[in-house]
Amino acid sequence: MTVSSAHRRLPTVDPTRRTFPRGTWPGGVSYELLRCAAGKAFALRLSPAILRETERVLLATERLREHFRYADEDVHAIIAELATIADVTGEITDLPSVVRDPNDDMIIACAITAEASYLVTRDKDLLTLGTHKTITILNPEAFIALLRASS
């Protein structure tokens, strides 16, 4: 997910895998970040590929379904809400090979395309990088602390 405000450039947030199911149900940092994005505290930027991957993971991962208890209709509603909240980039075809998991390259590419200052994720491969070019990669807790400190 890429985040920016009118006054400063802010992150790209990876809604796939670990961040997103927590983010869609009330009571967590990821949920708070999505509410902040909806309230325009920062600009959330996603690519069509990230939205498709998020939908695929949420629909196909039984472990997530068992833990968070959601139906296919819930996933479709989440993706629709994300597409409404986020500034969705065009398709990104030039994917850098940066991390071990090639699926994560689309996240880096979105952050680069969106000129993000931050990439917010729970993905360990991405977090291990710490930074990429001028993009700081951090978890949702660290990013929400930045937002709170700046308001």
Q: Please report, in tens digits, the pLDDT of each residue of the chain (151 residues total).
A: 444 333 334 444 445 444 445 555 566 888 888 889 999 999 899 999 999 999 999 999 999 888 888 889 989 988 999 999 999 988 877 667 777 777 788 898 899 889 899 999 989 989 999 999 999 999 999 999 999 898 7
Cβ neighbourhood burial of 59 (10 Å; 0-12, 13-18, 19+): middle
Into how many domains does the chain fold?
1
Residue range(s) defining the domain that contains residue 71: 2-150
Which CATH number does the domain housing residue 73 bear?
3.40.50.1010
- The count of other CB atoms within 10 Å of the CB of residue 72 is 11
